[in-house]
Structure 1
Amino acid sequence: MQHIIDRFISYVIIDTESDANSETTPSTKKQWDLAHKLVADLKNIGMQDVSIDDKSYIMATLPSNVQHEVPTIGFISHFDTSPDFCGANIKPQIVPNYDGKDILLNADKNIVLSPSYFKDLLLYKGQTLITTDGTTLLGADDKAGLTEIVTAMEFLINNPEIKHGKIRVGFTPDEEIGRGAHHFDVDKFGADWAYTMDGSQVGELEYENFNAAGAKIIFKGKSVHPGYAKGKMINSMLIANDFINELPQGETPQETKGYEGFFHVHHLTGSIEETVLELIIRDHNKKKFEKRKELIEKITKKINKKFAKQFGEDIVTAEIKDQYYNMKEKVLPVKHIVDIAEQAMKEIGIKPLIKPIRGGTDGSQLSYKGLPCPNIFAGGHNFHGKYEYVPAESMQKAVEVIVKIAELTATEGTARK
């Protein structure tokens, strides 16, 4: 297991934070640093057809070692980290034989990772945890996935008695800013189906995710000296506040779970003359998703009608863009690919946790590009922040799942195209 820990740490100490404001791919030059290392690692373990394109998408092949026809499967993860929290100068801390008590991440800043708040920690008593030092995220999302895929391929290469078909691996940039699959060449990848190793807790197996859209809403105003503003001033910030108050109460990320959708206000900047509101819209149900977008338009029209005479033109404009859709629609027709992953977990003693993703993955967009792609756990918790951690044993289990999926897919009568 030390081999896994060492490989994981070698990946997370490389800063690969992506940038949504960049128009390049990858969105940051520093992502190339890890991309080139991954290419070298894949070649060093003996993978074939290792390639990296001009946008840093990496692909490689493990050839089949059976004579009968076997579907080509793939395993995919991303190497960027979220811009939501600092991803530079990561200093991983190893906590062996975790005792179930508070973990002091940073003594100077009194930052503590506590099971009283993060109850999932208690699932890992006696295990080896890898944490942050309290000043950065860890990057287990999704460098744990990278570690697991490379390690599983290395294991299969070193143990040729384990039978498997052709396996393709793919590593992508910019997943954290929603672009991970934008330039992924599905035809070049050439797999019948694939799995993203990008989930959290051991056992997670997901083939449903949100339908997602983003909205940018601009409010105009009129600035007048406050002492003489009666009937003249229009404060765009207050109009934005009215707009937010028109959204359904209780339908926010912090108040929903499971299949419940939400509106999430994530950015608000303004002055009297102009305020910009950015929010995201999420729902697993396609009809409810469309209703949510319609509500944004309805509120916009209502406010415009209210101020039409005073302002003389539309005072609010709303731009709504779809981001990704629920992969369930594309995976259900080939549900056996989920069944194989479920069987693999059961055969190595893991209880499958089949549930919807309250978010999205590369697998969602890839499924709509013709590559059905459920999501499997990578083992980390508390992504995108200083409390992120991953048990080494969880990464080991993920490696075993990959190997078992490969083995089951090569078993005649188990896999279907």
Structure 2
Amino acid sequence: MSQSTISPKQDLETLANWGTACLTRVIAIDSQSDEESDDIPSSQGQRVLSDDLRRFFSELGYGAEQDDAANLIITIPSNLGADAACPPVALMVHMDTAQGTLAVPALEVLPGWDGSRVPYPENPRLTVTAERYPDVACFVGDDLLHGPGSFPIGLDDKLGMAELMTLARVLSENPEIAHGTLVLVFRPDEEIGRMAAVEGLADELARRGVRYGYTIDGLLPFEINVENFNAAYARAVIAETAPAAGDAAAGDAAADDSVEFVRLSVHGVNTHGATAKPEGHLNATMVAARALAALGARDDIAIVDMQSDPALECDAALVFAVRGADAEARERAASALREAFAAEIEPHAWKGAHLDSASVAAPAAGAGVGNGANAAARVIAHLQGLLREPGPTPLLPEESDGYEGYTNPFFVAREGGALVLEYRLRDFDPARLERRVAHVRALCERDGFAVESKNQYIDMGPKLAAYPELVRWAEQALQTISQPVLRRPIRGGTGVDPFLERDIPVANLGTGYFAPESEKEFTSRQNIARHALWLVHLVQVIAADPAETAKPASS
């Protein structure tokens, strides 16, 4: 580095105030994307957020543009002088949040957190402490910012957004801080993988001469990511079968005095796949498979229906037909059913997992009641088979960490007269991912399911290996502010393939929060300030390294 960097005039407390104000501003706008919409952006909330961001940057004196794919682009001009050999650098976040995320009008603030239980006002079941979750020790002493504890609040990626907004304000009020042209990008529909928006953006950045980029979308404080999962998706369709001889259809059973219907609402532990092991992910699909395996085959209990919660995919509602000659016999069967599920759930109660039970009317026609004679029973048998024959291991996301992959049967939905079981498959080793896909397909075909699969994204690591300067710059900026360097892979993806195809290498930087896409999400005021300061020094480090930024693009 040919020159030293300087810090802004403002102290960390001022930056914390600015950053908290930015986060509060954007977190109050519901911008979750909508996979059912064909529009880009897929939701009106993203348009509202984009308009608000335009106003924010306009007040700082920066121009804003929006391309045909709804990408909001802010340009902060270089202050290096006409002779400087520093091409534009892109800093990118996404505007949408995951399904199930809700806006909050204000953040809960816990000053000077001592590591004891975080008091989520709407979810006393949660026990989040530094002892239970050692990774959050870095937040002890900070002023925590969190939601009510009943739904995710969208720190992915609104925390990165707030840090980028804070960077822009710092540069606006500290013109002596040297930097090249910065292209700040706010992308729509990243969570639902709308690549059309990214393709157009990649073309636009290439046209503008952008040669490097960073997504500000990582999890842990100060992490640097240049590797990510290879990913695939599988979808199995399980048709309802005719009731076995002597069994009643659901509609007929409604009039049978010997049958009652019980709905179990299984509330699992919702986590991102990236943090499933340290946070103890628990999906209702696997709870059901294990509980019913422990219960064993019974003539008086039959699963009739199961459907995952679209807002919280770790939760599901399961309906059972309970038979008995009298009410007492039926209650004994229902009690045994509840106990089997409770045995699976209770060890996870401190993480918020719980079980609700209610008597319900017969399910819609088309769901069989006979043992093994309906789609829900076939799904359960399939999942139990997966547990017996897991294929490549680790099997489930809650068993997988670091460079390990997983196979995740994460969602069950009803479509007409059939159930659909969806799988996420992830691995850093492309060959192992292929084996995971082949194993799932083989199990589905053996069980008589119609199955299809597709690849989703690939590891950016091999291409980014040619650009070590992306890591070096980020590490130098961390050293300047006396923060530890953390290199780790992304246990997910960032959707940067179109940039790499246009010779624009893009690494990912951490934003610093806990429990992505979970009701437990939190960050801190001081964390936002520290990360904004990291970005302030990063743009200076890049500007001071003309030997790298002036290199010709690869052919």
Q: TM-score, normalised on structure 2?
A: 0.67
Q: How does 1:232-243 map to 2 (within 5 A)?
A: 235-243=374-382
Q: Which residue of 2 aligns with 1:278?
A: 422
Once the two structures are TM-superposed, the CA of residue 370 in structure 1 deviates from its matched residue by: 4.2
Q: Which residue of 2 aligns with 1:307?
A: none
Q: 1:36 to 1:139 in 2, by over 3 A?
A: same
1:130 is aligned, of 138, 141, 145, to 145
2:87 is aligned, of 49, 52, 71, to 71
Q: 1:196 to 1:7 in 2, by over 3 A?
A: same
Q: Which residue of 1 aligns with 2:334?
A: none
Q: Which residue of 1 aligns with 2:511?
A: 378
Residue segments in structure 2 that go unaligned for 5+ positions in a row = 1-15, 249-370
Once the two structures are TM-superposed, the CA of residue 316 in structure 1 deviates from its matched residue by: 2.5
With 14-23 and 351-360 compared, the bigger mean Cα shift is at: 14-23
Equivalent pairs counted in the alignment come to 403
1:97 is aligned, of 79, 94, 112, to 112
Q: 1:252 and 1:107 mapped to 2: Cα distance?
A: 29
Once the two structures are TM-superposed, the CA of residue 225 in structure 1 deviates from its matched residue by: 4.5
Q: Which residue of 2 aligns with 1:150?
A: 165
Q: Is the 1:71–1:409 contact (alpha carbons within 8 Å) kept by the matching residues of 2?
A: no
Residue segments in structure 1 that go unaligned for 5+ positions in a row = 304-314
Once the two structures are TM-superposed, the CA of residue 361 in structure 1 deviates from its matched residue by: 1.8
One-letter amino acid of the structure 1 residue matched with residue 136 of structure 2: L
2:461 is aligned, of 328, 332, 335, to 328
Once the two structures are TM-superposed, the CA of residue 91 in structure 1 deviates from its matched residue by: 3.6
Alignment pair present for 1:2 and 2:146: no
Q: 1:110 and 1:220 mapped to 2: Cα distance?
A: 38
Q: 1:186 to 1:107 in 2, by over 3 A?
A: closer
Q: How does 1:316-395 map to 2 (within 5 A)?
A: 316-363=449-496, 366-368=499-501, 370-395=503-528
Q: Which residue of 2 aligns with 1:253?
A: 397
Q: 2:218 and 2:144 mapped to 1: Cα distance?
A: 17
| Secondary structure at the counterpart of residue 292 of structure 1 | helix
Q: How does 1:399-414 map to 2 (within 5 A)?
A: 399-413=532-546
| Secondary structure at the counterpart of residue 424 of structure 2 | strand
Once the two structures are TM-superposed, the CA of residue 368 in structure 1 deviates from its matched residue by: 4.5
Whose radius of gyration is greater, 1 or 2? 2
Q: 1:139 and 1:330 mapped to 2: Cα distance?
A: 30
Q: Is the 1:211–1:286 contact (alpha carbons within 8 Å) kept by the matching residues of 2?
A: yes
Q: Is the 1:219–1:316 contact (alpha carbons within 8 Å) kept by the matching residues of 2?
A: yes
Once the two structures are TM-superposed, the CA of residue 11 in structure 1 deviates from its matched residue by: 0.8
With 290-299 and 130-139 compared, the bigger mean Cα shift is at: 290-299
Alignment pair present for 1:267 and 2:411: yes
Q: 1:413 to 1:166 in 2, by over 3 A?
A: closer
Q: Is the 1:186–1:370 contact (alpha carbons within 8 Å) kept by the matching residues of 2?
A: no
Q: TM-score, normalised on structure 1?
A: 0.88
Q: How does 1:156-171 map to 2 (within 5 A)?
A: 156-171=171-186
Q: Is the 2:71–2:185 contact (alpha carbons within 8 Å) kept by the matching residues of 1?
A: yes
Q: 1:233 and 1:10 mapped to 2: Cα distance?
A: 52
Q: 1:88 and 1:62 mapped to 2: Cα distance?
A: 29
One-letter amino acid of the structure 2 residue matched with residue 62 of structure 1: I
| Secondary structure at the counterpart of residue 506 of structure 2 | coil
Alignment pair present for 1:396 and 2:515: no
Q: 2:441 and 2:149 mapped to 1: Cα distance?
A: 42
Q: Is the 1:194–1:373 contact (alpha carbons within 8 Å) kept by the matching residues of 2?
A: yes
Q: Is the 1:324–1:365 contact (alpha carbons within 8 Å) kept by the matching residues of 2?
A: no
